[in-house]
């Protein structure tokens, strides 16, 4: 089951309770928090409209498909306004952590989580695209692509002409690029046609690198 990380409560009664709390706190601290009076007026009006629409939609004698649709529209308008209200007035000073807690929101995170070191291993698969072009597809050998440590991929490669010594280890590859896509495209110079490109890739996360994947090669068309 997916975890709901949204700060806005899912239930309509919960959304109304949050709106009530915001109106109460912001009215009491309107000057200190620099909340415009017009914004509070609009929030109150939308709260009242949503509350009335919910009461109509829940009443057995007044509930109809139309009243249900009107209730949804009223709450869509309220929650959209609350998201904008939060973005405009709650994401910067003068709010302090105690203000955010009183509004039912999480305090600012001043201790970001450290970036984990990638442990998964990935490799490159190549495919032909066009003249002097090779497509690459990054596939997982071990680990999961959903792991938060797997933010991006550092693809290393070198072009080797016929008769030259191919790389024996990924450390001998000379060029690289970073990508967060599992499919990408490399364009080579005209004179590289017929040469061999060698590839190896590491997962990279804020400078922390995972293990090397196997070295693969492909003829440049």
> Which distant-in-sequence residues (6+ apart) come within 8 Å of 204 by Cβ?
118, 151, 152, 153, 154, 178, 210
- Domain spans in the chain, listed from the N-terminal domain onward: 12-102, 121-219
Name which of 42, 24, 34, 38 is nearest 78 in CA terms.
42
User: 154: which 2 tokens?
Assistant: 């550092």
CATH fold of 121-219 reads Immunoglobulin-like (2.60.40)
Residue 93: per-residue pLDDT: 66
CA atoms within 13 A of residue 171's CA, in its CB half-sphere: 1
Strands (E), the chain: 121-130, 133-142, 152-160, 175-179, 183-187, 196-205, 208-209, 216-219
- In a structure prediction context, what are the per-residue pLDDT tens digits for the chain, which is 221 residues long? 334 467 888 899 999 999 999 999 999 988 888 888 999 999 999 999 999 999 999 998 999 999 999 999 999 999 999 998 988 888 776 677 888 888 888 776 555 567 788 999 999 999 999 899 999 999 999 998 888 888 899 999 999 999 999 999 999 998 988 999 999 999 999 999 999 999 999 999 887 889 999 999 999 99
Question: Using the 8-state DSSP alphabet, how is residue 138 labeled?
Answer: E
Residue 36 has which token pair? 């415009």
The widest CA-to-CA distance across the chain, in whole angstroms, is 87
Strands 196-205 and 216-219: antiparallel
pLDDT of residue 112: 56
DSSP state for residue 214 in the 8-state scheme: P
pTM of this prediction?
0.51
Task: Indicate the SS3 state at residue 140.
Answer: strand
pLDDT computed for residue 5 by the predictor: 61
Q: SS3 of 80, please?
A: helix
């Amino acid at each position: 089951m997916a975890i709901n990380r949204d700060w806005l409560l899912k239930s309509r009664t919960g959304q109304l309770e949050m709106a009530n709390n915001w109106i109460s706190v912001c009215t009491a601290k309107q000057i200190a928090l620099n909340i415009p009076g017009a914004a509070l007026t609009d929030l109150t009006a939308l709260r009242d409209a949503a509350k009335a629409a919910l009461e109509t939609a829940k009443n057995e004698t007044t509930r109809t498909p139309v009243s249900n649709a009107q209730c949804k529209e009223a709450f869509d308008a309220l929650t959209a306004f609350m998201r904008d209200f939060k973005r405009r007035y709650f994401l910067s000073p003068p709010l302090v952590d105690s203000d955010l807690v009183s509004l039912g929101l999480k305090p600012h995170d001043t201790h970001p989580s450290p970036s984990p070191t990638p442990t998964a291993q990935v490799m490159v698969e190549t495919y032909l695209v066009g003249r002097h072009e090779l497509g690459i597809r990054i596939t997982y050998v071990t680990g999961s692509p959903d792991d938060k440590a797997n933010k991006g991929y550092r693809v290393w490669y070198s072009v080797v002409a016929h008769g030259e010594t191919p790389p024996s280890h990924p450390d001998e590859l000379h060029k690289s690029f970073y990508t967060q896509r599992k499919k990408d495209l490399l364009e080579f110079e005209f004179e590289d046609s017929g040469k061999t490109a060698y590839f190896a890739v590491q997962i990279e996360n804020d400078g922390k690198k995972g293990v090397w994947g196997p070295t693969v090669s492909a003829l440049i068309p």
